[in-house]
Amino acid sequence: MWRHIFQTLGLLAAVWLLGDLVVGWFQQNTVRTTRTEPRKRSDKSSRLAADTPDQSCFCHLTGVLDDCFCDIESIDSFNNFKIYPRVKMLTERDFFRYYRVNLKRPCPFWADDGHCSNRDCNVEPCPESGNFNKYSQAANTVSDVAAWLCLEKRVFYKLISGLHSSINMHLCSQYLLDERWGKSVWGPNTQEFRQRFDPAETKGEGTRRLKNLYFLYLIELRALSKVAPYFDRSFINLYTGNAQEDGATKDLLLQIFNETKAFPMHFDESSMFAGKKLEAKILKEEFRLHFKNISRIMDCVGCSKCRLWGKLQGLGTALKILFSEKEIQSLSENSPSQGFQLTRQEIVALLNGFARLSTSIHQLHVFRSLLKVKR
């Protein structure tokens, strides 16, 4: 299972980051920082940071994020107290617990039987008679990007890195700690967490990875705040056949939207694709198609649960919302709009994907507490 996961994460980096074009650009802009940073700290303070788990993993995880005007402390407070409890309840409701997906599509990149030896990796199928929208085929081709603007490059890298960090966070927090007599014990693994995020273990990259997780959270948070008018309309129902539960589910969803709209430090996506109209349009389409290709890459994951969650990230839907501002603003109050629609699959993926990010940030708080106890 782990071999398949790491193979896929490597493929994600290779396909999404466009090889040396993006990674090389990013490294070129970070080499200066990594070369000069150690001079600002004494050997004593460096040893202290490495020896103290809480300091090592979290001492630099603070302050304002790059490319936006939001600080990490505000996100922590907002998510852990206002968003996480509600979104956790929402994703436990029937409408958001079922997602139609084809987990038997062959991997287009290498030969693989698509099976994991761990029985906990299995996904329970639903009856064929369920009321679910048909799933659409994922995009199979991604055209080459001719040019990238500086901001778009940084955002592209951070979104992929943030997705990677969220996956790692869930691996650390739901780690197989023990398996005896057919009973599996899962829970947080602080050693695994430090291995993936401690700057001393990651050549200084751990803090950057966590900050990119926050950045991805802000992007999807912004998408939720912008799509709220779509769900405010009275004829939009989250249908499962149980009218009472459907109404309660929509009320809870609208509460989450109201919280997202009240958040004061949203990412400003208007600064992206702000160049010449034709150039910006081409870049925007390339940007969208690269993320839509996630389903094709996820077909190479051997673990069925990992494959399912990879397809449930909802980032493609979030970008669709951010790129459809005019269409959302022109929505009709009393009838479906021809300009902007969300399928059931997109709604389920969007909220489940955001819930995973919200959970990741909440789990950061858990690991912070666990590492303090171990000091």
Amino acid at 191: Q
Domain positions in the chain are 2-36+53-127+146-177+185-374
Catalytic-labelled residue, pool 57, 116, 121, 306 = 306
303 a catalytic residue? yes
Is 172 a known active-site residue? no
- Give strand pairing partners of 186: 176
Residue 365 marked in a binding site = no
In contact, 361 and 224? CB cutoff 8 Å: no
Q: Tell me if residue 185 falls in helix, strand or coil.
A: strand
Give the CA radius of gyration of the chain.
Answer: 21
The one-letter amino acid at 159: L
CB neighbour burial string for 95-116, b if at least 16 within 10 angstroms, e if fewer? bbeebebeeebebeeeeeebeb
What is d(CA 358, CA 90) in angstroms, rounded to the nearest whole number?
A: 12
Instruction: Work out the number of other CB atoms within 10 angstroms of the CB of residue 35.
Output: 9
Q: Are 316 and 292 in contact (CB under 8 A)?
A: yes
Structure tokens at 247: 């109404």
Measured distance CA(308)–CA(122) in Å, rounded: 10
pTM of the model: 0.74
Residues in the chain: 375
Residues 302, 9: Cα–Cα separation, whole Å: 12
| Local confidence pLDDT in tens for the 375 residues of the chain | 444 444 444 544 444 343 333 333 334 443 333 333 333 334 434 433 444 544 566 767 888 887 777 889 999 999 999 999 999 999 999 999 988 877 777 777 767 655 555 555 555 665 554 443 332 333 333 333 334 456 777 888 888 899 889 989 998 999 988 887 778 888 999 999 999 999 989 988 999 999 999 999 999 999 999 999 999 998 899 999 999 999 999 999 999 999 999 998 888 877 777 667 777 777 777 777 776 666 677 777 777 777 676 666 788 889 889 888 888 988 888 777 677 899 999 999 999 999 999 999 999 999 999 988 776
Q: Is 35 annotated as a binding residue?
A: no
Would you say 161 is a known binding-site residue? yes
